[in-house]
Amino acid sequence: MRFGVIGCGYVGMDTAIRLKYANHHVVGTTRSKARLGELQELLHSAHLLDITDATLDLSFTERLDGLLISVAPTMKGEGYSSVFARGIRNLTHALRQRPRQSPLHITYISSAGLYGDQGGALVTEESAVDAHSPVNALLGAAEELVLNLSSDNLKICVFRLGGIYGPGRDMVSMIRQAAGQHVPKYGNAVTAWSNIVDITRGIYFAYERQLEGIYNLVDDMQLSRRELSTMICDLDGLPPVLWSHTPSQTERNMNARVSNSKLKNEGFQLMSPSMLIPVAAP
């Protein structure tokens, strides 16, 4: 398989490396000239690509079988609108203009935070997204732009991820370090989580099964911040994390139990049902 990764951050880089070690041909992109040499050494080829540039060149996608789009604001001073409004609009326009309209499966990384504050209720891919948050409105519009690429030759899968944990993002250790401290976030909010190993496996699974549409790629844990941190601190005899008892009026809030049943019904099996259960990377 020939696979491309637009955006070699935490998710994109992990996916690219694992696919290469599985003997697939992998092409990666970065906006950073400083990182280009690193990618060229690690992958089969790499390209400088800034999706906020209206003249972006996607000629490298012509021979690909699969493509991952995993982008986020990373440059100093860059806002969400730069990436998820202008950038995704440029990217989808360029993909439509491909001279060689060969079959291509695209996986687009989005966020389960789109569901917003649902009072801890269960949500599925059919649930309405939070249109009141400006950030969520941008993310939702970006999903629509990508999904509208769907055609006979372009199959589009959107993965909504929770907070990402795994190597380099040991959330359990971070919670332990916060024991006894006040964290100014709403403690009763139920948040979704995703292990990087399952994310990478899910991306390849989506390509193999040629999945189309929106899927929640989250683990099974549906605990509030307070419940999760208390469980972790109690196991180690630590004082609890002191969370806020009221939602912030200025921050983007998520409070929903996100269902992963749709993806499981396709046959996907989690290696990490919870961050509380150690998982060895494959």
pLDDT at 30: 92
- Rounded Cα–Cα distance for residues 182 and 241 (Å): 6
- Rounded Cα–Cα distance for residues 282 and 271 (Å): 9
87 has a pLDDT exceeding 90: yes
69 has a pLDDT exceeding 60: yes
What is the arithmetic mean of pLDDT over 188-217?
Answer: 97
186 has a pLDDT exceeding 70: yes
What is the arithmetic mean of pLDDT over 157-178?
Answer: 95
- Residue 92's alpha-carbon distances to 4, 54, 100, 140, 148, in angstroms, are 15, 11, 15, 15, 9
pLDDT at 234: 96
77 has a pLDDT exceeding 70: no
pLDDT at 280: 59
For the segment 13-68, what is each residue's pLDDT rounded down to a tens digit? 999 999 999 999 999 999 988 889 999 999 999 999 999 999 999 999 988 999 99
| Domains detected in the chain | 2-168+193-220+257-265 (3.40.50.720)
Q: 108: closest CA among 161, 158, 49? A: 158
- Rounded Cα–Cα distance for residues 182 and 228 (Å): 15
pLDDT at 132: 87
Quickly state the pLDDT bin for 101 (edges 50, 70, 90).
confident
Q: Where are the beta strands (DSSP E) in 112-207?
A: 117-123, 154-161, 163-165, 182-186, 193-195
- Rounded Cα–Cα distance for residues 17 and 268 (Å): 21
Q: Which residue has the higher pLDDT, 85 or 99?
A: 85
pLDDT at 99: 76
Specify the amino acid at residue 146.
V
Q: What percent of the chain has pLDDT over 70?
A: 97
Name the β-bridge partners of 45.
27
For the segment 107-137, what is each residue's pLDDT rounded down to a tens digit? 999 999 999 999 999 999 999 999 888 899 9
pLDDT at 76: 55
Q: What percent of the chain has pLDDT over 90?
A: 82
pLDDT at 79: 82
- Rounded Cα–Cα distance for residues 210 and 149 (Å): 15
Helix axes of 134-147 and 88-96: crossing angle, nearest 10 degrees: 0
Quickly state the pLDDT bin for 247 (edges 50, 70, 90).
confident
